[in-house]
Chain A
Amino acid sequence: MRYLCCWLLTASALVTGVASAQVDFTGEWSPLYHEDAADRIPGPEIGDYTALPLNDAARARGDTFQADRLSMVMQYQCRPHSADYALRGMGNMRVNKEMEPLHEKLTAFKTYMPAWGSERTIWLDGRPHPPEYAEHTFQGFSTGVWDGNQLTITTTHLKANYHRRNEVPSSDKRTLVEHWARHGDFLTVITWVDDPVYFTEPVVRSQSWYLDPSQQVPQAYCEYVTELPPVTADSIPHYLPGTNPNLTEMAGWYGLPHEVLRGGAEKMLPEYRKKIPKPETAPPAMCERMCNCSDFGTCR
């Protein structure tokens, strides 16, 4: 009888302490590219730094970008999208639950995105983040807590990568906070990214998916191929400061003042509209580039 009582006490304590999910985020989620579609699908124009609170160090890095480096340097090929960029860039997403079988306790959500097979774990079991010296990875280390029906996720230990695919750099010091909110068959993921190395202030953005049970996330792979012969064995294509001819192309194509493309927090405020200078080149009378880009079939 003594053992029976102990067992009942233990069982009671275990089952009553189980934390349960407030909202089920599992399933196949298809992204909606109804914001910045061309930036996210075919990719950003070189030198487009708008809508990011960049500092001069980030601009200096971005200005060196020469796209040939992707064709010649193995280290730049097949880089997975980091946890933060993946949510903004291209990404169908599958979300699974990981359950602790003995007590049916939800311990984690696992996400899979097809950009180079990015798998990510969002721990919900209260474990702490590892010490700062632990390994930094493309997906980082993520933990989530519930706030009502909203799941707030904090990610640290991210590896240096990019905030935008035109080589706006991101540092390994950055922190990502997400808020997941499900509204029927729509999922909104709000991201707060603090990058003290390349941002003057954190940036908040938000992305939308819809539940698509018929979605088949494709197999993802990437093959390393040297498409151009390197000039020397250790050369990395780049431009020195002030020599990148591609930085002015976008302003000409769209008739935009070059200054606005340099980005920065002050240009993200509504009052900046009154300070926008006149463009160096008059805008075209009719849109000529990416005019109807809103999904994979319409961006050309």
Chain B
Amino acid sequence: MNARRMLLAVVCSALPLVGFAQGRFGPPPPPAGPPKTAREAAPVDLTGTWVSIVSEDWRWRMLTPTRGDFQSIPLNAEGKKVGLAWDATRDETLGLQCKSFGAPALLRIPGRVRISWQDDQTLKIETDAGMQTRLLRFNAPPTTTEDKSWQGYSVANWERQLRGHGAGESFALFSGAIGRGGRSLEVTTTNLREGYYRRNGPPYSADAKVEEYFDYHKEPNGDEWFTVTTVVTDPKYLTGVFVTSTDFKKQKSAAGWDPTPCTSR
């Protein structure tokens, strides 16, 4: 037996284990510095001015739908009843013109959004349509004692890295944790004032919960987009969840930014 060959064989077979062992069975990683802020940890850059390109639900977003036109919204009987009682004049009289500009509906309204970091833990979304501001708070408590509002209380986090178990790129005879970094921004919003999904009155209640997933994507022609998937849970007025996904294209400038107050019509 050639000892050098034997040594070579052992080294060869052990090489793939090195990286693996560092992940699962190795010593704990050295103490890191202070935890990254949400801004530092951002896997994608969502800041800038974005315009909604209305490629879906055109009639219901660009125009005020007819009374009772609730197409695509899974309203239950109570939701339809309340929706049919929609009265724009009454809303104006009561100063409720922003009822269709709340968090469950805001990003569905055609317009531009400006996204920026208010501080290291707070992402701010401003809209020109309705002149609304949403604050997405990272590392924040899940609930608040603030008054209910059109935009509610939003807690955000970057999608956590999936840590499934399997061989992954390590030695196949063993199993270990695998996974790659997440890319989505996840937001949960509660503490809402009751409002409308659209300007013709389909309602959501003050108990509605909104979960959103912001996905950044870059296309072959160089255009940058984000798509926000919005999942609304509201047993009071919905038969099940209400899920939409809305697409925004990044602008090179703030061109077209057109602040316009809320309207009931």
A36 touches B169 (CB 8 A): no
Q: Which residues in chain B, 218-265, are within 8 Å of chain A measured between CB atoms?
A: 219-221, 223, 225, 227, 229, 231, 241-247, 249, 256, 258
Report, as a range, how many residues of chain A touch the other chain.
35 or more
* Distance, CA A52 to CA B15, complexed state (A): 54
Question: Counting CB contacts under 8 A, is B215 at the interface?
Answer: yes
Question: Counting CB contacts under 8 A, is B32 at the interface?
Answer: no
A1 touches B9 (CB 8 A): yes
Question: Counting CB contacts under 8 A, is A35 at the interface?
Answer: yes
Residues of A within 8 A of B112 (CB): 270
* Distance, CA A22 to CA B182, complexed state (A): 10
Question: Counting CB contacts under 8 A, is A160 at the interface?
Answer: no
Residues of A within 8 A of B182 (CB): 148-149
Partner of A181, one of B2, B53, B213, B225: B213
Partner of B72, one of A33, A104, A152: A33
Question: Counting CB contacts under 8 A, is B162 at the interface?
Answer: yes
Question: Counting CB contacts under 8 A, is B181 at the interface?
Answer: yes
* Distance, CA A291 to CA B84, complexed state (A): 11
Known contacts A35-B245, A292-B71, A294-B71; is-contact A254 B66 (Cβ 8 Å): yes
Question: Counting CB contacts under 8 A, is B126 at the interface?
Answer: no
Known contacts A1-B2, A276-B63; is-contact A205 B56 (Cβ 8 Å): yes
* Distance, CA A286 to CA B69, complexed state (A): 8
Residues of B within 8 A of A18 (CB): 167-169, 172
A293 touches B71 (CB 8 A): yes
Instruction: Find the residue from A2, A22, A283 having the highest chain B CB count within 10 A.
Output: A22
Instruction: Find the residue from A149, A205, A254 having the highest chain B CB count within 10 A.
Output: A149
Report, as a range, how many residues of chain B touch the other chain.
35 or more
Residues of A within 8 A of B167 (CB): 15, 18, 20, 104
Residues of A within 8 A of B53 (CB): 204, 268-269
Residue of B nearest to A17 (CB): B169
Residues of A within 8 A of B179 (CB): 22
Residues of A within 8 A of B206 (CB): none
Known contacts A5-B9, A33-B72, A148-B180; is-contact A206 B245 (Cβ 8 Å): yes
Question: Counting CB contacts under 8 A, is A217 at the interface?
Answer: no
Residues of A within 8 A of B162 (CB): 22-23, 149
A284 touches B243 (CB 8 A): no
Partner of B178, one of A5, A17, A20, A37: A20
* Distance, CA A188 to CA B59, complexed state (A): 23
Question: Counting CB contacts under 8 A, is B94 at the interface?
Answer: no
Known contacts A4-B9, A16-B169, A16-B171; is-contact A51 B72 (Cβ 8 Å): no
A36 touches B56 (CB 8 A): yes
A208 touches B243 (CB 8 A): yes
Known contacts A35-B245, A186-B229; is-contact A271 B258 (Cβ 8 Å): yes
Question: Counting CB contacts under 8 A, is A273 at the interface?
Answer: yes
The distance from the CB of A124 to the nearest CB of chain B, in whole angstroms, is 14
Known contacts A254-B59, A276-B63; is-contact A146 B172 (Cβ 8 Å): no
Partner of A255, one of B66, B72, B220, B231: B66
Question: Counting CB contacts under 8 A, is A70 at the interface?
Answer: no
Partner of A186, one of B9, B231, B242: B231
Residues of B within 8 A of A188 (CB): 213, 215, 227, 229, 245
Partner of B247, one of A32, A190, A283: A190
B56 touches A16 (CB 8 A): no
B12 touches A9 (CB 8 A): yes
* Distance, CA A255 to CA B67, complexed state (A): 12
B66 touches A287 (CB 8 A): yes
Shortest Cβ-Cβ A-B pairs, 6 listed: A270-B110, A206-B245, A287-B69, A287-B68, A50-B58, A51-B58
By a beta-carbon cutoff of 8 Å, the part of chain A in contact with chain B is 1-2, 4-5, 8-9, 11-12, 15-20, 22-24, 32-38, 50-52, 103-104, 146-150, 152, 154, 175, 177, 179, 181, 183, 186, 188, 190, 192, 194, 202-208, 210, 254-256, 260, 267-273, 276, 283-287, 290-295
- 12 sample A-B contacts, Cβ–Cβ < 8 Å, listed by A number: A5-B9, A5-B12, A17-B169, A23-B162, A34-B72, A37-B72, A50-B59, A51-B56, A103-B172, A181-B215, A273-B63, A287-B68
By a beta-carbon cutoff of 8 Å, the part of chain B in contact with chain A is 1-2, 5-6, 8-9, 12-13, 15-16, 43, 51-59, 62-63, 65-75, 80, 110-112, 129, 159, 162, 164, 166-172, 178-184, 186, 213, 215, 217, 219-221, 223, 225, 227, 229, 231, 241-247, 249, 256, 258
Can you name 13 extra interface pairs (CB under 8 A) apart from A150-B183, A177-B219, A186-B243?
A32-B243, A50-B58, A51-B54, A51-B55, A181-B183, A181-B229, A204-B227, A269-B110, A270-B111, A270-B129, A272-B62, A287-B68, A294-B71
